[in-house]
Amino acid sequence: MKYVSTRGQTDPVSFREAVAIGLAPDGGLFLPETLPDISPRLPGWRNLSYTELCAEFLGLFATDVPPEVLQQLIHRSYGAFTHPEIAPLRKIDDRLYVLELFHGPTLAFKDFALQFLGNLYGWECEQTGRTINVLGATSGDTGAAAIHGLLGKPKAASFILYPEGRVSPLQERQMTCTGAANVHAIAIDGSFDDAQRVLKDIFANKTFATQHRLSAVNSINIARVLAQSVYYLHAWLRLPEAERGNVEFVVPTGNFGNVFAGWLLQQMGVPVMGYKVATNRNDILHRLFTTAEYRSGEVHPSLAPSMDIQVASNFERFLYYALDENPTRVNNVMAQIKATGAYRFDLLNRSLFSSSSASDDEITSLIRRVYERYRYIVDPHTACAFKDINPQRISIVLATAHPAKFPAAIRDAIGQEPTSPVLEVLKTRPVVKHRLPAEAEAIKAFIAQRAI
């Protein structure tokens, strides 16, 4: 299978090439040239384990990775997850399920993609003999998951940008307390959107990116999106057959990558009825699906910091399909968004997508309400998903992080402070970070000195 850029000015590449490059040279995002129809395969996939399903699904896309190698990488990626089902689906009410995505090494859903991507990078370095320097921007969980996906990979280094003071203390410690020499946590002055802008500026300098063998670890990397699609598929297959035709996935998201991964399955023939986008006070996606206008605004710090985003990078992939896979139209729209910060759709499928937005006060109330009603503790991001659940649907809420990562928010809501042994260890380790301005030249100079 080949991969094309949303902007149409890059020649089609293989899966391994798309993963290694990350961001397409023309500034676009890679997507499969064609999406397979997987509906005939669904009955045969019904009883597969998570790793078996992952191998079957990713095998349709990673066609230049030998099947036995792909299976090894998958087993290595999910072997460290602490729950035997890897992504357990818990029923907490008659029509309400929670898909727990926090049983990985950094207790967040990003582990599903970044454990796999880290192992894929490691194998690629072994095959080619070349080193790789992974560059990412994070609003909280991506950075920790990317770093831990690359720990122990001798030919790989990670450079992770994050907004100083705008991630939770434990999220920061997961990035800055590893003690690994190949990990570089860079705290920038500004927001996540500033970090993401700097990242794109650096990748736009093709000479620099090639010279230092840079690869993108953000959700702009197609391997991340495809790896995340698997847990939607696994959850859907785990439902009673009578419920599968009326399913709505409720997804806390700021960057659109997580919900896009689920939406792709619907495009491949999985009969999902809808997707609900749950945001915090930084509600660009909620406004998109209620007004049909994409308009960025100011980023406001919140209790759900991983969603403190006003530039949803994966929106471009959705835009590509919404504009009939026409790269010329995508280029025109992206140019308009860059110039004005806004784009209005003539037609947007709001029957498939719904949305909601939760303020900080509502997040606190939702954590309390979920605990009182279900005796279940959710983190602030997952709490956003419990606002305005559709009673007519079978709802699957994606629990995107372990509540122990946000102890202050949980304590304020229910008077309890959840803990995790993984996080408690971090509290005793020294913080190692680098404070830099949100400027491409400053970050490039830093990378040039430390790239392997």
- Percent of the chain's residues with pLDDT above 70: 99
DSSP conformation class of 430? P
Query: Which tokens in the block code for residue 137?
Result: 């921007």
State yes or no: pLDDT of 231 exceeds 70: yes
- The angle at the Cα of 84, spanning 126 to 174, to the nearest 5 degrees, equals 60
Note the pLDDT of residue 350: 63
Query: Are 260 and 322 a contacting pair, CB within 8 Å?
Result: no
In this prediction, residue 106 has a pLDDT band, given cuts at 50, 70 and 90, of very high
From 219, 247, 382, select the one nearest 315 (Cα to Cα). 219
Q: How far apart are the first and last CA of the chain?
A: 31
Note the pLDDT of residue 168: 86
More confident residue, 182 or 32: 32
More confident residue, 213 or 309: 213
Note the pLDDT of residue 402: 96
Residue-wise pLDDT for 367-389, tens only, equals 999 999 999 999 999 999 999 99
Q: Which H or E element spans position 344?
A: strand 342-344
Say how far apart CA 85 and CA 208 lie, in whole Å: 42
More confident residue, 118 or 311: 118
Residue-wise pLDDT for 341-370, tens only, equals 899 887 666 678 999 999 999 999 999 999
Residue-wise pLDDT for 77-94, tens only, equals 999 899 999 999 999 999
Say how far apart CA 87 and CA 235 lie, in whole Å: 8
Note the pLDDT of residue 161: 96
H-assigned helices in 103-166: 110-128, 141-150
State yes or no: pLDDT of 7 exceeds 70: yes
Say how far apart CA 225 and CA 423 lie, in whole Å: 27
Number of alpha helices (DSSP H) and beta strands (DSSP E) in the chain: 19, 15
pTM of the entire predicted model: 0.91
Query: Which tokens in the block code for residue 2?
Result: 């080949």
* Residues annotated as part of the active site: 110
Contacts of 367 (CB under 8 A, 6+ apart): 377, 378, 380, 383, 409, 410, 413, 414
Residue linked to tokens 């996935």: 249
State yes or no: pLDDT of 390 exceeds 80: yes
Arithmetic mean of pLDDT over the chain: 93
Residue linked to tokens 């590449």: 13
Residue 428 has a CB neighbour count (10 Å cut-off) of: 8
Note the pLDDT of residue 117: 93
In this prediction, residue 199 has a pLDDT band, given cuts at 50, 70 and 90, of very high
State mean pLDDT over 419-429. 89
Note the pLDDT of residue 196: 87
The helix/strand/coil state of 240 is coil
Q: Which domains does the chain have, with CATH numbers?
A: 83-108+223-420 (3.40.50.1100)
Length of the chain: 452
